[in-house]
Amino acid sequence: MNSEQIVASLRSLVETGQTPGKVLTDPADLENYGKDWTKIYPPNPVAIVLPKTTEQVQALVKFANENRVALVPSGGRTGLSAGAVAANGEVVVAFDNMNRILEFSASDRTVKCQAGVVTEQLQNFAEENGLYYPVDFASAGSSQLGGNLSTNAGGIKVIRYGMSRDWVAGLKVVTGKGDILDLNKDLEKNNTGYDLRHLFIGAEGTLGFITEATMKLSRKPDDLTVLVLGLNDLTNTMDVLQAFQKQIDLTAYEFFSHQAMGHVLAHGQVQAPFETEAPYYALLEFEAVSDQVMDDAMTLFEQCVENGWVLDGVISQSETQARNLWQLRERISESIAPRTPYKNDISVVVSRVPGFLEEIDAVVAEHYPDFEIIWFGHIGDGNLHLNILKPEDMAKEDFFEKCQQVNKWVFEIVERYQGSVSAEHGVGMTKKAYLEYTRSAAEIDYLRGIKQVFDPNRVMNPGKIFD
């Protein structure tokens, strides 16, 4: 089929019935919906489809199988591994118009959502009902639930609440064959063989498309308090973490370098937390549910200073101040975005973070002597974000080529530490060449076998995770 025939067929599939969807072919729409936050691969989709129902998604998948048309899913387009980029004439299936909250059960503390529900929308709904959805990240205002689940997004609360998959009670999916599956039926206990919902979580749309998800909610945390500490040395991140975790249940433990904070402060919307400069900073969050917890936190802070781990610190005295301190961490990605950062999202077990980071920092500094390196991440769960900033006078293509050259050395360290080349951003296209550094050859063979079962004609997000 040529592109005109494909578009005509798509229109007949989704632009009819009681709840018609849309098909877009305007160049601006193709550009917008065909990409995510990565800037390496130029988008080149043939059309954009915005379905309204699971049945329309099913019809699209069956059409794709019959005519060997490749489909690429698109959520909030905030991905960082090119998992939602349509670079080779694919049809983009965007879930923006499948954005309704369908059901809520106060007794079960669950909420059923369509895949296009925005993360912040779900968070606000939970709060309005006296509950809490804890999966949170800087892109919460635009990322969509389907995309979050397809990459098993983590974010800033993993140390206490876990990853996206930990909050999924059930899924409705359209497989690569075009079957609609209702997975787990929202049950808390269901020990009847393989739990297929967990195959689709983190699969990046390569097995099928998530159209609905039933998400679990929790109680709302009380009196969240933020403590920002200036650290004397990188290894002190673990010293401080161990000291606090012995007495206090943390809801977040983040870190960032002085260079990272410098970019945030340069934007002028946030102030430095204190006058003392430190090479690294840690941000701790906890529930100050009693005076005793606050007293324990202050005692631990003083002990950290006495041990030489901490140079200075500040603790929030109000919700407003807590939100402002969080901006030091959450505005980093936004503040460095104009510099076209090359991002690596890597992880190891928490106890090995300091040595791991120091080795990688040394390798990067050796091979990128003229590049600015920005470190930050969810250090409380072993997840580090390495960002290399493009010099203003260097072409984007030359910059990306240089960055990719050093990936081998970085990922060899990741492999030696038995870590992951992608902690929470997925594999997509940017990491698939490096999958072997985290997955064994036998594992990859099994992954390919699973793909063949669910998507035998290879129409679901082809070229992502592996070729």
Cα–Cα distance between 25 and 46 in angstroms, integer?
A: 7
Angstrom distances, CA of residue 359 to CA of 258, 346, 352, 398: 19, 13, 11, 25
pLDDT tens-digit series, residues 179-213: 999 999 999 999 999 999 999 999 999 999 999 99
How many angstroms separate the Cα of 261 from the Cα of each of 264, 265, 379, 405?
5, 6, 16, 28
Residue 175 in this model has a pLDDT that exceeds 90 = yes
What's the pTM value of the predicted model, to 2 decimals?
0.93
CATH numbers and ranges of domains, the chain: 3-97 (3.30.43.10), 101-219 (3.30.465.10), 224-333 (3.30.70.2190), 340-424 (3.30.70.2740)
What is the mean pLDDT of the segment spanning 59-69? 98
- Cα 103–107–112 angle (5° rounding)? 20
Of 405, 401, 314, residue with least CA distance to 367: 405
- pLDDT recorded at residue 361: 87
Going by their DSSP bridges, the two strands 91-94 and 47-50 should be labelled as: parallel
pLDDT of residue 73: 98
List pLDDT tens digits, range 7-36. Answer: 999 999 999 889 999 999 999 999 999 999
Task: Tell me what the pLDDT averaged over the chain comes to.
Answer: 95
What's the confidence (pLDDT) of residue 406?
85
Q: What local confidence, expressed as pLDDT, does residue 364 receive?
A: 86
Q: Is 299 exposed, middle or buried (0-12, 13-18, 19+ CB in 10 A)?
A: exposed
Q: How confident is the model at residue 350 (pLDDT cuts 50, 70, 90)?
A: very high
Helix axes 236-245, 291-306, angle to 10 degrees: 150
**Banded pLDDT at 150 (limits 50, 70, 90):** very high
pLDDT at position 456 over 90:
yes
pLDDT value at 269 more than 90: no
Distances (CA, A) of 28 to 31, 35, 96: 5, 12, 16
Looking up tokens 């970019």, which residue turns up?
Answer: 263
Q: d(Cα 126, Cα 129) in Å, to the nearest integer?
A: 5
> Could you tell me what percent of the chain has a pLDDT over 90?
89
Per-residue pLDDT, averaged over 138-142, amounts to: 89
pLDDT over 90 (residue 405): no
Do residues 145 and 116 lie in contact, with contact meaning Cβ atoms separated by under 8 Å?
yes
For residue 349, pLDDT beyond 90? yes
| d(C-alpha 334, C-alpha 177), whole Å | 39
pLDDT band at 138 (very low <50, low <70, confident <90, very high): confident
Task: Tell me the backbone φ, ψ of residue 239, rounded to 5 degrees.
Answer: -60, -45
Sign of the Cα torsion 408, 409, 410, 414 reads: positive
pLDDT at 367 > cutoff 90: no
pLDDT at 39 over 90: no
Q: For the segment 98-136, what is each residue's pLDDT rounded down to a tens digit?
A: 999 999 999 999 999 999 999 999 999 999 999 999 999
pLDDT tens track for 212-247: 999 999 999 999 999 999 999 989 999 999 999 999
Model confidence at 365: pLDDT above 90: no
Tens of pLDDT, residue by residue over 277-329, are: 999 999 999 999 999 999 999 999 999 999 999 999 999 999 999 999 999 99
Residues 6+ apart with CB under 8 A from 290: none
